[in-house]
Amino acid sequence: MAVPRLIELDYPPFGAAAEPPGWRVPLAEYARRLDLVRARMERDALTHLAVYGDREHFASLAWLTGFDPRFEEALLLIGLDGAPLMLAGNECMGYLPAAPPAAAGLIRTERFQCFSLPDQPRGSSRPIEEILRGEGIDAHSQVGVAGWKTYGAPHQIDAPSYLVDALRFAAGWENVVNWARPLLEFRQTAAPQEIAFFEWTNTLASDGMARVLRAIRPGALDYDLLAEARYPGVPLSAHMTLKCGANRVSLASARGERVVPGGRFSCGIAYWGANCCRCGWVAAGPHDLPPEAAGYAEHFAAPYFEAMAAWFDALRIGSTGAALHDAVHARLPWETFHVFLNAGHLIHLDEWVTAPASPGSTVQLQSGMVMQSDVIPSHPDFYSSRMEEGYVLASAELQRELRFLFPELTGRCLARRGFMRATLGLPVHDDVLPLSNLCGIVPPYLLRPGLVFALC
């Protein structure tokens, strides 16, 4: 049976799109999504839906309209027919043409200055109560509110209280419910144009990570290392993180620390549809590790790599979230690896959409899902290891469509999959398309980034 061993290699030059693929979801796809939502509203006996978004949590709005509010909040009001109404503040009124349905006149737009920044003009927009009446929201209405999260009770809603209070005053307290879950479910799969954009952002993130890894030196400044990411200006899905030296705070950004030999290191680079993370020790080999971390590669990082191989064996269309969970937890005992969060999750415009992987989960993996190989082991002495990046589950039909629309993308994905199988020994299925140029590459000793694990 194959076991994890360390091999030396040069990172393969898989390449990237010659030009950014842009964000060109067709108008017909936005119309399809609106029809899908309205059909579910009718099934759930809703008359109206209010979709709330802000700078941090905009993905449901963007999925429906292509609009991600800048500086401000926004609200989309949807009835069972007619054009939806988008409410935006002073500054976002000028940004609304970035939303294809708004630019095409398929949604109505209105300035709502409560969403504007403090001390900006407030005197030229209608009160929210008048707007809701104009949309037909009254005592006969059943209203869903989609913020970001679901909670334990249907009336717990994560939108500003003045908006929720106005909806409850208009329709009745009991007639306004949290409706985030259906939108989370709808957003679990990506359109081909989104997959093309996410492949591009994954190459940006992973190529940047490869440069960061190659630049690690004792004494290097964390800001200088992150400069190697060469941030190109695409929207972030999470803050860039880098920990080294005395900075050992989880999720911390660079703060002026320097790399120390024998120290811990982690870095994460996240754009829309992409998050590439690696961590390990500032060492050229086991002799550079602190005494308490002796045996890190063989007793911690190697079992992690082997568990991820089992995770890939379970990653296929029709598999369940429980299969992903069991693949990891059957091989990484809690007392050593402390894998607390889900064994992988879905990514889209937001870094974490939902997580099908959980104990006993019957959620079936579908074509079009973009899955993060985000499995986080931790130990007080061994620290951690990571192989985090994105993978698309794609049926034969979706792969044919991608090959027709983006033939070079498909070629890169197939080359990555072949490398993972032939060189790293990872059992990646035919319906999995790796998006990252660091696919499966795990160097435990970061002063020797070409020394990586493989199943041999």
**How far from chain centre, in Å, is Cα 287?**
37
**Domains of the chain from N-terminus onward:** 4-21+191-455 (3.90.230.10), 27-186 (3.40.350.10)
Looking at residue 247, its pLDDT comes to 83
Among 13, 5, 2, CA closest to 419: 13
**Percentage above 70 pLDDT, the chain:** 100
Residue 284 has pLDDT above 80, yes or no: yes
CA distance 387 to 4: 14
**Percentage above 90 pLDDT, the chain:** 96
Task: Please state which of the ranges 209-213, 236-240, 250-254, 430-434 shows the lowest mean pLDDT.
Answer: 250-254
For residue range 285-334, list pLDDT tens digits in order: 999 999 999 999 999 999 999 999 999 999 999 999 999 999 999 999 99
Name the pTM for this structure: 0.96
Read off the pLDDT of each residue in 185-194 and give the average, rounded to a whole number: 96
For residue range 320-352, list pLDDT tens digits in order: 999 999 999 999 999 999 999 999 999 999 999
CB contact at 8 A, 259 and 244: yes
Residue 1 has pLDDT above 70, yes or no: no
CB contact at 8 A, 303 and 310: no
**How far from chain centre, in Å, is Cα 275?**
7
Residue 23 has pLDDT above 80, yes or no: no
Supply the mean pLDDT for the chain. 96
Q: How confident is the model at residue 62 (pLDDT cuts 50, 70, 90)?
A: very high
Task: Tell me whether strands 264-271 and 241-243 are parallel, antiparallel or unpaired.
Answer: antiparallel
What's 35-49 look like in SS3?
HHHHHHHHHCCCCEE
Angle at 79 between CA 74 and CA 83, to 5 degrees: 75
For residue range 70-102, list pLDDT tens digits in order: 999 999 999 999 999 999 999 999 999 999 999
- Token pair, residue 211, equals 């440069």
